[in-house]
Amino acid sequence: MPEFISSNDLRVGTAIEVDGNLYVVTTFQHTKPGKGGALIKTKVHDVNTGFTVEKVFRAGEKVARIILEGKKAQYMYNDGIGYHFLDMESYEEKVVQKEVVGDAIDFLTENLEVELLTYGDRIISVTLPSFVEITIKETPPGIKGDTASGGTKPATLETGVVIQVPLFIEEGELIRVDTRTREYLERASK
């Protein structure tokens, strides 16, 4: 059963239901036009379609807030049909479609622990940890003696995504990457 909140209480990350559709607020702005009451302009992510749409609410309008549950899971594999995760509480295998996994695909490695955001029995998103340790699959060699200049070079990670790394990083090295900014942080200890 949804809880009703005032549109004034909408914040980034709030899950709401409007006209039977599930949305997550990505931006909001309170505005006061010259005439009439205040408005809350939002951009929301449509969980069903994956699109971002704009929604405008009158100040004080009641909106159905949805409580989402996070479940710890471990990534196992992708078989072309979907991405398979092991629920860490029930030990059930959960299959998640590519559209739901989204950009998290770029950093999914075997046995990585993630959070599956659910609404009822439905998985609506996959949340990565803030940092992951991942292996460099391919990168051009750095220029000898050029480690102090602070330059970067492209590196392909074991998942296929390309990020910028310092010149001294070599193929096969294990590094830490910030999944939010997609940036190299440091070498990881093996």
Q: Which pTM was predicted?
A: 0.72
Output the DSSP codes for the chain.
-PEEEEGGG--TT-EEEETTEEEEEEEEEEE--SSSS-EEEEEEEETTT--EEEEEEETT-EEEEE--EEEEEEEEEE-SS-EEEEETTT--EEEE-HHHHGGGGGG--TT-EEEEEEETTEEEEEE--SEEEEEEEE-PPPPTT-SSS--EEEEEETTS-EEEEETT--TT-EEEEETTTTEEEEE---
69-127 shares the fold of 3-66: no
Q: Is the pLDDT of residue 148 over 60?
A: no
Return the domain boundaries, the chain.
Answer: 3-66, 69-127, 132-187
Q: In the structure, what pLDDT confidence band is assigned to residue 144 with cuts at 50, 70 and 90?
A: low
Q: What would the CATH number be for the domain defined by 132-187?
A: 2.40.50.140
pLDDT of residue 129: 92
User: Which of the residue ranges 5-14, 36-45, 162-171 has the most confident prediction, judged by mean pLDDT?
Assistant: 162-171
pLDDT of residue 190: 66
Q: Please tell me the class of the 69-127 domain.
A: mainly beta
Please state which of the ranges 3-7, 48-52, 116-120, 168-172 shows the lowest mean pLDDT.
Answer: 48-52
Candidate CATH numbers 2.40.50.140, 2.30.30.30, 3.40.50.720, 3.40.50.300; the one for domain 3-66: 2.30.30.30
Q: Is the pLDDT of residue 57 over 60?
A: yes
